[in-house]
Amino acid sequence: MSERKSLNFGLLKLGVVGLDPRNQNWLTKIRAVVLSSILSLNYVLLVIEFFAKLTEIDALADTGEMLVSCHQCFTKMLTILITRPKIERLLEKLARFKDFATLDDELREDVTSTERRIHFVLKVYYHNARISAITMVFKPLIMKSRIFPIQVYNFIDLFQTPYYQIVYGFETLSIFYLFYIIIGFDITFFSIVTYIYNELKIIKYQFQHLKITESDLENGFKRLSEIIAHHDYVLSFISDLNTICSLLFLNQFLSAMMGICMSIFTIISHGLPMSIPFAVQHIVFIIGINLQLFLSCFAGALITSQALTVGNSIFYAPFWLDAPIWVKKKIIMVIQRSQKYETITVGKIYNIDLELYTIVLKASLSFLNAVIAFKQQ
């Protein structure tokens, strides 16, 4: 097994807010309850504020981005809390993945190189999200204006000392809680997908380099059975992951579509010139949500492509051409199984792949055109 740097990094971020499924003592439970209550309150207030301003098209600019972020965070928090036993079992199953130290040098370098590249991309994603959160928190201070980072308290005058400072601190806590849940969950998911991708790559390599000789038939067939069983194990792991994430991704993709639309609309509505905090906040948000969307689709595409090519690797492997008929039957079953691949889906409606990424972007821009046309009327 590799060091699992990316996975540990993601779970560590979830642990900050008491949502690491591996570590559940009384202190983390209290922290999770308190912070979840704060997030839930802000989410409810944002929804109320948004619908209270629904007749004003500028409501999209005032509360849209924050509502999208809170919605994503809220659904991820609920997913973690509701499916915690499933997540724990999934992490336990991950421990049965191959130890990289036992692999051939060439294969080990290949899979560790993949992990290093993905870890770098996830660090970029993390720092982009952190810049967005910090900008959101400090924008009122930089602009020297008494506004709240989350504009949901317009129904009551809280801009006088000490109420403003109290609410400002409350919202700052909410934003960083939101940041840790989203970034922790996403990095954990992307890390698990990376390990699945590498595991399927290892299985392909094992099939391609399997040798069954007449002098060692028993051990050769035993090794073949082990590889087939491990392949089934990885496919069941993908199915378990999809059970946890499928509905969540339906919410995430819909909210990402709205988020892209609202961010671009906010920038268009504001016009030029833009202040530096305003530009940084909204541009970084657009980059972040596009990166999240792209990484999710790319992750699904990786699993799909790798799962499909397992069958090709077996078909062109030389070991089974002169094997007994019962071995050939087993091989045919594995090839057929790989064609009915497991993958990650959006609400079990669409497979998550790069085509879905373009669909969401097109839908976002179409919705943006409708909003702009409505405003001009």
Chain segment 184-232, per-residue pLDDT in tens? 999 999 999 999 999 999 988 888 887 776 666 777 778 888 888 888 8
Which position has the token pair 């504009």? 151
Cα 29 to Cα 19: distance, rounded to the nearest angstrom: 8
The more confident residue out of 95 and 55 is 95
Q: Do 197 and 305 contact (CB within 8 A), yes or no?
A: no
Distance (Å, whole) CA 60 – CA 50: 8
45-92 pLDDT tens trace: 887 777 776 666 555 666 777 888 888 888 999 999 899 999 999 999
Residue 177 structural domain = 5-376
Contact 158, 23 (CB under 8 A): no
Residue pLDDT, tens place only, 127-140: 988 888 888 888 77
Q: How far apart are alpha carbons 239 and 242 in whole angstroms?
A: 5
pLDDT tens-digit map of 339-364: 666 788 888 888 888 888 888 888 87
CA 120 to chain centre: 15
SS3 for 28-80 is HHHHHHHHHHHHHHHHHHHHHHHHHCCCCCCHHHHHHHHHHHHHHHHHHHHHH
Amino acid at 290: N
Tens-place pLDDT, residues 367-376: 777 767 766 6
46: its two tokens = 């944002």
Name 185's Cβ contacts closer than 8 Å, sequence gap at least 6.
Answer: 10, 14, 76, 79, 80
pLDDT tens track for 222-278: 888 888 888 889 989 999 999 999 889 988 888 888 888 777 877 777 766 777 777
Q: How many domains does the chain have?
A: 1
